[in-house]
Structures are given as C-alpha cells and as structure tokens.
Amino acid sequence: MDVETLRAHCAAKPGAWADNPWAHEHPVFKVGEGERAKIFVFLRSDSVGIKGGPSREAADEWLQRFPDEARPMAYIGRSGWNDLDFSGAISDEELLDAVDESYRLVVSRLPRGARPAGWDG
C-alpha cells in the first residue's frame, strides 16, 4: 500500500475532502461541512490512522491480529483510533476495508441532515 492509493480511495468517498490543519506532509480526510466536519482518516507516509471500532475494546482486534503493525493512536487511541502500518503485513485489501469502516463509523455518527448524499450506510 502507498499513501497516494489511499488518498485517491478516501477522496472518492461521498462528501469526503482533504484538509491539512497541522501543515503535515499528508492531509487528513474529513466528511461533513465546515467546522462540523469529522476526520475519518489520518494519512502518513508509512501508515494510516483509522477509527478501528466504536470502542477501544473493538479496535483492539487490530492490535491482536497485527501486534507489530497496529497500535493505538497517540492522544485519541482511547476512543478506538489505531495507526496501521504499510509494511505489507496488513494486506492492501484489509487497509482499504479499514478505511471504509472508519468512514462508515464516522458518518453514522453525524446528524442525519449532515450525512453526505450518496452514503448508503
């Protein structure tokens, strides 16, 4: 997996848009409008930050399956966010599925009126 493939995958999601609030090398992807938008992916050169589950306990499945390639994200890991490495141990398909699930989890928590058109839940 590489960051450009994930960038394109994220950008293709209904209502998704790139933002760079911290002036890092790679953007975060948000869904929703303006200040009410929510991040669903943190892109990095060698990993992706995703919402791994609705709780820390659910997100821990990634840590159990990939103890050397998955870890809780700094600061927000307690809320179910994980970093997943692009080392090759986690397949490209699983990484794309993780991004899709992160998007689903984040959009499902938006108020109904703020969910993007074309999102099928």
Q: How far apart are CA 32 and CA 113, in angstroms?
A: 10
Please, what sign has the CA dihedral across residues 85, 86, 90, 93?
Answer: positive
Q: How far apart are CA 5 and CA 21, in angstroms?
A: 21
Residue 67 is predicted with a pLDDT of: 96
Q: Tokens for 93? A: 């398909």
Residue 121 is predicted with a pLDDT of: 67
Helices H / strands E in the chain, number of each: 3, 6
Task: Write down the mean pLDDT value for the chain.
Answer: 93
Q: Which residue blocks in the chain are alpha helix, DSSP H?
A: 3-11, 56-65, 92-108
Residue 72 pLDDT level (bands cut at 50, 70, 90): very high
Reference 15, options 110, 119, 104; nearest CA is 119
- Domains (range + CATH), the chain: 3-113 (3.90.1150.30)
**pLDDT tens digits along 3-59:** 999 999 999 999 999 999 887 888 999 999 888 899 999 999 999 999 999 889 999
Residue 120 is predicted with a pLDDT of: 73
Q: Over range 93-116, report the average pLDDT.
A: 94
Asked if residue 96 has pLDDT above 90, the reply is yes
Residue 35 is predicted with a pLDDT of: 84
Q: How far apart are CA 99 and CA 114, in angstroms?
A: 20
